[in-house]
Amino acid sequence: MERIGILGGTFDPIHLGHLIAAAYACNHLSLDRVLLVPSSSPVHRPLHSPAAVEHRVAMCRLAAAALPPFEVSEVEVARAEPSYTVLTLRYLAEVFGDEAELVLLLGEDNLHLLHTWRRLDEILDLATVAVLPRPVAEPPDLAPLEASIGQEAVAEVLRCRVPGPQIAISATEIRRRVRAGISISGLVPASVGAYIAANGIYAETGQAGK
Assigned domain for 157 exists: yes
Tens of pLDDT along 34-87? 999 999 865 555 555 689 999 999 999 999 998 999 999 999 999 877 889 999
So what's the pLDDT on residue 82?
Answer: 80
Assigned domain for 207 exists: no
Assigned domain for 49 exists: yes
Assigned domain for 52 exists: yes
So what's the pLDDT on residue 44?
Answer: 54
Counting the structural domains of the chain, the total is 1
Say how many CA atoms lie within 13 Å of 152 toward its Cβ: 0
Assigned domain for 175 exists: yes
Tens of pLDDT along 150-185? 999 999 999 999 999 888 899 999 999 999 999 999
Assigned domain for 208 exists: no
CA distance linking residue 147 with residue 204, whole number of Å:
44
Type of residue found at 139: P
User: For residue 40, what are the β-bridge partners?
Assistant: none
- Mean pLDDT across the chain: 91
User: For a pLDDT cut of 70, what percent of the chain falls above it?
Assistant: 92
Assigned domain for 156 exists: yes
Assigned domain for 209 exists: no
The CATH number covering residue 9 comes to 3.40.50.620
Domain extent, residue 57, equals 2-199
